[in-house]
Structure 1
Amino acid sequence: MIIHTIIQERRKALGLTQEQVAEYLGITTPAVNKWEKGSTCPDIALLPPLARLLKIDLNTLFGFYEDLTQQELILFCKEIHETALSAGFDAGFAAAQAKIHEYPNSDSLLHNFALLLQGLLMTAGLEEAQTIAYRRKIDAWYERLAQSDEAVIRNGARFMLASRAIGDGQYDKAQEYLNQIPNRNDIPDKRLLQATIYLDQNQVEDAAKLLEQSLLTAVNDVQTIMYKLIDANIALGDKDTAAYVAERVTKLAEAFDLNPYNTAVAHFTVAVANKDAAQTVAFLRQMFDSMLSVRKVQESPLYRRVTTNDTGTSMKELIPPLIQELKHSPEYEYLQTSEEFHT
């Protein structure tokens, strides 16, 4: 954020008009207007009274407390790491604290240092009392980061605090942290932490149910990615790789007891790309067979406890519209001259 934006935001936050700022500084209103537009900058003699008026220090006015760039974060972490290795963990931690005091508003810096020093502490070879003392300081950083405005940092800190609580046997505390983390796919390990809590508290049935559901979700996610990878390779003109990925989908389905329909769809997509009528019809029949048969995911020992939502719609109800698409879509025009398709 550059100075003209800081001036404007602070002025508005304090409820001041440009006229009031101009009057306080003994200048014209158009001059303040030009500052906020970025056309000109305040005279150096006006900076101290301007900062006082806006209730900030000069460092803030100049934007020196803005968050650091990725390159700066990497450089600072490298410096702390080298200091800890060459001069000892105490020196590395002290250097990190000094840098944190220099950039007190940077959650990114604090988060990176917390992760770095936590890892270094594990191999520092300190006395137990020293290790505990440093661990508490790092945990205090995570507590602060757990309130960060940045979701990734906030949830990452809560994850680390939940992990620490589990390690200390404080399951209620771990559950509190875990409950604050959104149920989102970008934090998949939340489910593993929850399962650990269940297992350690002898809630084995709950753990098994959660793990089965997590497995099914993960496998379905992988399968969806592979479908998209088939599409991508077809778009690139690499049909051989698309066919290879389809074969991997078959292996995945076999390994994790997935519906045969999933395998048929993958090969059907490749056959359509190749305009191979015989193969298209063959895999289409496999798709129809799977859609007509009733197969519940709970039939597999891997997913016995999984709860599914029954929408009341059978897959066989999807067959008529699919047939209509096959008959009328230009994409499948090559099938119209195929004897297999009409038999």
Structure 2
Amino acid sequence: MSLNLGPVILQKRKAKGVTQQQLAKFIGVSKASVSKWETGQSYPDITLLPLLAAYFNVSIDTLMAYSSQLTAEQIREVYTSLIAQFDTRPAADVLAAIEDTIHRYYSCAPLVLEMGQLLLNHGDLLPGGTAVEKSSRYLTRAQELFAHVTEISTEPVLLEKARDFSAYCSLLLQRPDDVLTALGQFVPTYFPSESLIAWAYHLKGDEQRAMATTQSALYQYVTIMASQLTNYLQLVMGQPEKLRTTYARGWALIDTFDLAKLNPASVINFQVSAAMGYAQQHDATAVHACLTAYVDCLAAVKFPLRLHGDAYFDGIDEWLAQTDLGHALPRDEHQLQTDFVTVVLDNPAFKLYLETAEFQPIVQRLTQIKERLTYA
């Protein structure tokens, strides 16, 4: 985050009705120095800040346009700005920028939470040795940030997110007992507060907000269901009948709600998980069908990939806009494009299949998609 000191000095000077020369004389610097401050070419020496603040009768924080707390929109801008740096700056510089942001806003719980998620989602792109070493390093650092959120916040939603993300880190770090300690051994009884919100709007006569609230809940239910079915596919790989049933029901859900267009990432993950399950069962026909559907979905994806509604979910834009990252995805856009291709081409589970003549059209299409994404 850059300082807005120059514009503030300019605004305060004009409001006070003094010239650059008059300000320079009071502070004890040259008129050229004041000019450079106001145009952002340089900053005042740190020892001059109290004098400047006193001259304008404001606090140093006001003078620097600094606040320890950021709005949701500002946090979103910080997050997207940092992940965009992966395309233009060395990984070590990006890491330094992340840590600098954390240090600067260490008392802003929502920002700290997002920085933990950033490390969770992009740790593989940061410096630190082997993939295993990096995973351990940044998952541990993310957990430290999530723990800090619980120390500085009393907001129930933030505390719940921090707990859940920390448990997810524990899972990736192969610490199952920590997960169960944090979350418990059984799924908690779910109480749908969104239904209460929707009905409250209904009682107020605001049918549009009632429908939009219910739509946003349904949208989440559908995408979460697709994600859960994807996870379940991985758990039933050794049970052929249950794998086939789960795939059939999952595909019915995807088709019913047109998820290939609404949320293609969920469909892509579902198909590759199913293909891996069928590969374990040595069912080449099913593997081919899943990977074909996978490539069809990937080929139809339009980048940049953004969360959105459709003709059925036509009232969720306002809800999406107020979520942590708005319409954006948490994963870096270009890295996500690469992952979509390499998860198949570089997957050991598919190696023997992709070497056969039957699967060559799939390999060729994926290669073409990879080239298209590379030069886009």
TM-score bucket (shorter structure): 0.3 to 0.5
Kindly name which structure, 1 or 2, has the bigger radius of gyration based on alpha carbons: 1
| TM-score using structure 1 length | 0.39
TM-score, length of structure 2 as denominator length: 0.36
